[in-house]
């Protein structure tokens, strides 16, 4: 039977799929058929349509079937999927020479491939505000295609400069498709991307100093690689399958170690390793419908405002943790982990009014009291602390307490709560590259500064307040941040209220899929705390806790990113295999009149995880 299926695939299906047009429609069907055959092999009585022969279960063990069906998708990705595989490569160190272009240059392939050409024949000049800048002329860009863009950049006439890549088409200008902090005497890597709203016959990418000043800019190894929407989704799914899931083999044996063929197995996922949650507000207290809706979906929470200094000490010396204590008690009882947001906020608008008038020594005393009070109240309660919120944009405390104020905050927070991961947290890092205060290189530079000074800053917080997401840019920025080897969290994701609710759902799905499919993202938090008069930017439900479009997206993805109920029978080797999302599982095994229950945990890893379950004679 297995030979017949393989022969059919090689001589009938495979040649048929060499047509690229047919691949787009037949590929999903084949993947579905593969799944159908797989479960039919493992559970011959679950469907009236059974491809099992009477002796197949004895002749073909489960691991052979698993290999067969794993090889089908592999072959589909290789000879049948002839599209590009996304390149996660990124560099944050300045190099003496530029590297080769990603994707061999993509649609910008140059005849001069080795060594990388500097100012080669695809780079020309363009005039912006009476300044000549390097540019790339592009032809026939298509609407809806996702373009990943990269280049190496060097400057002359200045020690460093923030260089921005801008795209101009016949109809519109995309102010920023990527940035890099370029330096004198070495090459820096710019990575970004864009999606066009309209097709363009003639477009120009040009590089300019972000502050508008004239500077000599050199460009090398440019690359522009297009992905269709389907190709992008295939790449996302590949990363999810390899980084968010793992192969498992369960072995069933008796007290003597003898493997048991024909044991019935039922597996259910009871929790997820990936943390996905939302902000909550005091409005959840005593609100049973809100609580039920939230707990059914999320395994993580963050308090919207209730831990902030202006909430816990609105008047000097009058500290009150009543509301935050009640919210913490709620998440505790529901086994939901929580992030601590935040200890300090660098924006003066969001500090207690009485703090704004304090002198240096008075402010230092107040700061010390704030840390001591907050951290002693909540030591070991929060998995993260956002220590100095939005420090790329604001510097209220450093202006008043000196340039080492932030270092002091992180040092004291670590000493007070050493088990909590300390985060930077800021906006417009991943949402756009137009904000010169919070470019990806500016974020990386600040992290390195803190670490050089011995600071225990172990988490990267990206707020994620989007208007219209740019998926290639999101991924490029995550790639560069990932080079630091720190956990990345999307901490406050929402879509602007200027967008209609249906489109909010569409855009939210784009952002969530980008985050979940990137191997360096460890968690996602939505900024969707419910208030009767409306949410900050985006609500998941109406006042009756019926889903809006964004809520439907959340439910769809939560279901998609969870292993469904798995049932099967152990093979001749007493084994049963499946592929599941990372997290906690229960497994029930029945053999004759014996039943046993067990649990196991799947964590990230490349190799197959093996678990052995022993059925005792009195189980």
Active site residues: 390, 492
Structure tokens at 493: 């994701």
Structure tokens at 350: 């969001």
Q: What's the 3-state SS for 6-20? A: HHHHHHHHHHHCCCH
Q: Please give the Cα distance from 555 to 544 (Å, whole number).
A: 17
Structure tokens at 51: 């491809």
Instruction: Phi first, then psi: give them for residue 302, nearest 5 degrees.
Output: -145, 140
Q: Please give the Cα distance from 294 to 283 (Å, whole number).
A: 12
Q: Please give the Cα distance from 500 to 249 (Å, whole number).
A: 46
Q: Please give the Cα distance from 69 to 67 (Å, whole number).
A: 6
525 contacts 278 by C-beta, under 8 angstroms: yes
What dihedral angle (degrees, nearest 10) is formed by the CA atoms of 212, 214, 216, 219?
30
Q: How many CB atoms lie within 10 A of CB 130?
A: 6
Q: Please give the Cα distance from 468 to 470 (Å, whole number).
A: 7
Q: Please give the Cα distance from 574 to 568 (Å, whole number).
A: 12
Provide the CB-side half-sphere exposure for 543 (13 A, CA): 3
Q: Please give the Cα distance from 147 to 191 (Å, whole number).
A: 11
SS3 assignment, position 267: strand
85 contacts 235 by C-beta, under 8 angstroms: yes
Question: Starting from the edge strand earliest in sequence, which strands make up the sheet with 583-591, in order?
Answer: 566-569, 264-272, 583-591, 594-602
137 contacts 145 by C-beta, under 8 angstroms: no
Quote the DSSP letter at residue 184. B
């Amino acid at each position: 039977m297995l030979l017949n299926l393989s022969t059919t695939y090689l001589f009938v299906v495979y040649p048929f799929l060499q047509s690229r047009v047919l691949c787009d429609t037949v590929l999903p069907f084949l993947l579905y058929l593969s799944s159908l055959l797989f479960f039919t092999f493992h559970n011959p009585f679950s469907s009236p349509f059974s491809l099992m022969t009477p002796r197949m279960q004895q002749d073909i063990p489960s691991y052979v079937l698993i290999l067969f069906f794993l090889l089908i998708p592999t072959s589909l990705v290789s000879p049948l999927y002839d599209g590009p595989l996304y390149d996660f490569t990124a560099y944050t160190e300045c190099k003496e020479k530029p590297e080769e272009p990603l994707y061999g240059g993509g649609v910008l392939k140059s005849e001069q491939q080795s060594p990388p050409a500097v100012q080669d024949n695809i780079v020309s000049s363009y005039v912006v505000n009476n300044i000549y800048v390097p540019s790339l002329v592009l032809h026939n860009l298509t609407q809806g295609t996702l373009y990943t863009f990269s280049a190496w950049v060097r400057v002359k006439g200045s020690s460093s400069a923030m260089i921005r890549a801008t795209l101009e088409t016949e109809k519109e200008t995309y102010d920023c498709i990527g940035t890099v902090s370029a330096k004198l005497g070495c090459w820096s890597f710019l990575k970004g991307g864009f999606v066009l709203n309209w097709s363009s016959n003639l477009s120009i990418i040009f590089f300019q100093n972000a502050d508008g000043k004239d500077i000599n800019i050199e460009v090398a190894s440019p690359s522009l690689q297009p992905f269709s929407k389907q190709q992008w989704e295939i790449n996302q799914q590949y990363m999810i399958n390899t980084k968010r899931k793992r192969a498992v083999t369960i072995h069933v044996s008796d007290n003597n170690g003898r493997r048991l063929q024909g044991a019935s197995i039922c597996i259910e996922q009871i929790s997820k390793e990936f943390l996905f949650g939302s902000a909550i507000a005091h409005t959840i207290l005593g609100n049973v419908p809100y609580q039920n809706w939230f707990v059914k979906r999320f395994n993580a929470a963050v308090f919207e405002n209730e831990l902030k200094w202006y909430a816990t000490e609105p008047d000097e010396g009058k500290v009150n943790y009543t509301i935050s204590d009640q919210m913490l008690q709620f998440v505790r009882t529901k086994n939901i982990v929580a992030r601590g947001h935040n200890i300090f906020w660098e924006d003066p608008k969001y500090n207690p009014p009485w703090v704004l008038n304090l002198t240096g020594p008075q402010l230092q005393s107040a700061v010390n009291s704030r840390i001591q009070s907050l951290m002693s109240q909540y030591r070991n309660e929060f998995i993260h602390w956002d220590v100095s919120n939005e420090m790329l944009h604001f510097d209220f405390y450093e202006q008043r307490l000196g340039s080492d104020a932030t270092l002091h905050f992180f040092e004291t927070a670590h000493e007070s709560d050493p088990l909590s991961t300390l985060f930077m947290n800021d906006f417009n890092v991943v949402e756009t590259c137009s904000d010169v205060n919070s470019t990806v290189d500016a974020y990386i530079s600040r992290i390195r500064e803190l670490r050089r000074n011995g600071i225990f800053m172990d988490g990267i917080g990206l707020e994620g307040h989007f208007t219209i997401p740019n998926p290639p840019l999101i991924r490029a920025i995550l790639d560069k941040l990932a080079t630091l080897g720190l956990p990345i969290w999307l901490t406050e994701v929402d879509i602007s209220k200027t967008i209609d609710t249906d489109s909010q759902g569409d855009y939210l799905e784009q952002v969530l899929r980008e985050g979940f499919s990137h191997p360096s993202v460890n968690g996602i938090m939505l900024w969707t705390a419910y208030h009767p008069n409306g949410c900050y930017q985006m609500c998941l439900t109406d006042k009756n806790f019926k889903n809006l479009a964004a809520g439907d997206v959340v439910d769809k993805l939560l279901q998609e990113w969870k292993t469904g109920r798995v049932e099967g029978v152990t093979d001749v080797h007493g084994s049963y295999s499946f592929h599941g999302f990372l997290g906690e599982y229960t497994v029930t095994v029945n053999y004759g009149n014996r039943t046993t229950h067990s649990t196991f945990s799947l964590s990230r890893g490349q190799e197959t995880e093996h678990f052995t379950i022993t059925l005792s004679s009195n189980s």
